[in-house]
Amino acid sequence: MKPLSRMVALALGRYGPAALATRLLALWKLLRHPATPWPAKAVAALVLVYVASPIDLIPDFIPVIGMLDDLVLVPLGVALAVRLTPAPLWQHCLSQAHASTEKLPRWFWAGALVVLVWAALLGLMIRWLIG
């Protein structure tokens, strides 16, 4: 298994955070590609929903730690999706993302879904505490 720093470097690419948007667009293309294995599709979907989510695991207003989840979890998710994808397929999606002028779609339903899941978890926790 690759060390954590190598996986983050693989996810971010040579150019750092500026290349992350291209990698996310490549994940979107990978998610929609019919030859993508289902584990890679599942990881790509989770990463994209997390990026689109209005709720973070650790709120951004907490100094340092709040931004850490975005700086670590997203690149690690991208790296995991890359690792689960055959190399030629990933290179194809990445080259399409580099050549494309499109942006990631806005997923209002993904944000709503995340808010509903957090609300349900909060409700279950309150029910467990009370009952």
Query: Which pLDDT tens digit goes with each residue over 77-96?
Result: 999 999 999 999 999 999 99
The whole-number average pLDDT for the span 31-55 is 88
Check residue 15 and give its pLDDT: 52
Check residue 73 and give its pLDDT: 82
- Predicted model pTM: 0.69
More confident residue, 34 or 58: 34
Q: Do 110 and 49 form a contact (C-beta atoms < 8 A)?
A: yes
The whole-number average pLDDT for the span 17-41 is 88
Check residue 17 and give its pLDDT: 60
* CA atoms of 82 and 13, how far apart (whole Å): 12
The SS3 of residue 15 is: coil
